[in-house]
Amino acid sequence: MINRQALSRFYLTLVPFLAAGVALGLGHSKPQLYIPIWLAHAALMAFAVWSLGKNCFTNPDPEQRQLGIIALLVIIPWVGFTLFAGMGPPPTSIPDWVNTATEQQIRYALLIAGGMLITVGLTLLANKLRLSNEQPYWLLGVLALGIALPLFILNMAYWGSFLDESFTHFSAASLAKRPDWYLSMRALFNWISGVEVALLYLATAAFGLALQSASWFKSRACRIYAFFSLVGALLSVLPSFSFEPLVIATYLVSIPAFPFIMPYLMALNLLNLANRTPNRSS
């Protein structure tokens, strides 16, 4: 007999990695093709989340339901993020960017909304961890998030609004050389992006240590969360090198949705943990 909860968790765990593989491997597809596929995936993802956390969502204990809500706040943005699998990576040429301007605006609007939801979810999680009297790693996580979120919103607005307007203007004016102000802004946001991404990874590492301190998750899982988050933070602030594997790794960890992969996996683990308490009303 198939274990529906185990199958749901397996599918949900694969979601960010499959989406990234499709986006990077296949590139941009036509909306007429990827939107129906995404809608089917979104429905399947909702079914999998319900299967994984049904006991938690319907539990009469408000503490258990709150854990489910926290997990949902972090998981739900990934329903939107998987739309990027059909969009592919951001265009590398101005004509392609102008031709897909609406898609780019949707991409970065979803990232802003998702980043805000995840921050709310992790902040609520920090409050639960505070009440469990664990070591104050949660405070470091909240502080890092508090600094990172405004930078993240600013950075996504730069990509979703400023670049759209700039590239549309450059294309209409047929400018062969970029203005000095554009080059200065690009350099500024390279710095902002590095700081913002590093802080998001550091916040995740802090929450991983907090969950370990509170003994909510197994130590091995928490160490994995913290290790990969710290590696991501380091790679995001490294200067440019000619060593190709390092360049690729630095590029990957700086993809806007990638710092949210570890919080998403934590949320799945949290939902599974909260779901273990049986619903006495059933």
Residue 282 lies in a domain: no
Residue 19 lies in a domain: yes
Nearest to 256 by CA among 187, 188, 157, 126: 157
* Model confidence, pTM: 0.91
82 vs 42: CA distance, rounded Å: 8
Q: Quote the tokens at residue 31.
A: 């909306």
> CB 126: neighbour CB atoms within 10 A?
24
Residue 117 lies in a domain: yes
Residue 101 lies in a domain: yes
Residue 281 lies in a domain: no
- pLDDT tens sequence for the chain (282 residues): 458 888 999 999 999 999 999 999 998 999 999 999 999 999 999 999 999 988 888 888 888 889 999 999 999 999 999 999 999 999 888 888 888 999 999 999 999 999 999 999 999 999 998 887 767 889 999 999 999 999 999 999 999 999 888 888 777 666 667 777 788 888 899 899 999 999 999 999 999 999 998 888 899 999 999 999 999 999 988 876 667 778 888 888 999 999 999 999 999 999 988 887 655 444
Residue 157 lies in a domain: yes
For 59, how many CA atoms within 13 A lie in the half-sphere containing its CB?
Answer: 22
How many independent structural domains does the chain possess? 1
| 37-66 burial code (b ≥16 CB/10 A, e <16) | ebeebeeebeebbebbbbbbbebeeeebbb
Sorted by sequence, the CB contacts under 8 Å of residue 163 that are 6+ apart come out as 97, 104
Residue 122 lies in a domain: yes
H-helix segments, 1-91: 4-26, 31-57, 62-75, 77-81, 84-87
The whole domain housing 207 covers 4-275
Residue 280 lies in a domain: no
42 vs 109: CA distance, rounded Å: 18
Q: Quote the tokens at residue 236.
A: 């995001």
The DSSP H or E segment spanning 178 is none
